[in-house]
Structure 1
Amino acid sequence: MKKIWLLILFISALFSCSDNDINNKNPYIPKYPVNLTIDMNLPSYSNLKYMSNGVIISGYGAKGVIIFNAGSGYNAFDAACPNQALTSCTAMTIKGINAVCSCDDTEYSLFTGLGEKEYPLIQYRVEVSGTIIHVYN
């Protein structure tokens, strides 16, 4: 009987483990491969060295990638409006610490990716080494 309980406990622990995957399930935005590296020493990206600053880099993801310095680290989000069809809106813009959708003026926090609608911003992984930022999924 003791072995059965240990087996049940082991199986429960096995299925409760997470692979630390970022969940990007959004019916409006397909999953595009992103592999982007920037150097904050370049003038275009130097404001990323300071908290609450962000940049939009076009040509990656669905509508570009927003990289934001959150103070405790960097966040990277797709610049596509997460609650609109991909073809209906242009890339989001940065307004202070928020990203704004061009279709409906919905604002999304660049600290969390959350807004007032159903889906949050599509988030990418970020690694920082010195002044180099690597964004990928």
Structure 2
Amino acid sequence: MKYIWGLPLLILLISCESDPTNRNPYLQEVSFRFDLNLNLPLYNDLSNIGNPVYVGNNGVGTRGAYVMRTGLDTFFAFEASCPNHTPSSCSTLQLDGQNVTCSCEDFTYSLFTGQQLNRPDDGNRYYDLLFYRAVRNGDVVTISN
């Protein structure tokens, strides 16, 4: 009788997969929480869809975050450090319209999706932008990890 319960348990344990390769090895997981008051002039660009804002305050991510309104009540926030190498003097992403560019290798990323737009086809693994939670509550958008 105990073999009947042991077989499904063994199958369940084997089927659970932990894939550590999804974690970005270049960026640390920084815990933070920051509120953006949409009534402040600093964040006026977030009143329109597709206008990104750089939040470079201390304690926000590794190198800050880019926040963009992507829908009526939808906001995306991404780490401002290039996800494809360790943070360095050239790794802070530069805003280029609705994209950001890493000046180290000229990698370009979309702020609508976080995806790398010019991924080399050289067989190496490349990472998309590190996503942060962005939740709107009234006139405040809270970004956090």
TM-score after normalising by structure 2: 0.75
**Structure 1 CA distance for aligned equivalents of residues 97 and 106 of structure 2:** 14
Counterpart of 1:67 in structure 2 is 67
**Structure 2 CA distance for aligned equivalents of residues 125 and 80 of structure 1:** 16
**Structure 2 CA distance for aligned equivalents of residues 97 and 36 of structure 1:** 22
Query: Structure 2 matches for 1:31-70, cutoff 5 A?
Result: 31-58=29-56, 59=58, 60-70=60-70
**Structure 2 CA distance for aligned equivalents of residues 34 and 85 of structure 1:** 20
Counterpart of 1:21 in structure 2 is none
Whether 1:122 and 2:126 are equivalent positions in the alignment is no
Q: 5+ residue gaps in structure 2?
A: 17-21, 120-125
Is the radius of gyration larger for structure 1 or structure 2?
2
- Aligned-residue RMSD, C-alpha: 2.5
TM-aligned CA deviation for residue 101 of structure 1: 1.0
- Give the 4+ runs in structure 1 shifted more than 2 A: none
Q: 5+ residue gaps in structure 1?
A: 17-23
TM-score after normalising by structure 1: 0.79
Q: For residues 68-90 of structure 1, what are the alpha-carbon distances to aligned partners after superposition, in whole Å with 9 as ceiling and x for unaligned?
A: 11125100000000112212424
TM-aligned CA deviation for residue 129 of structure 1: 1.0
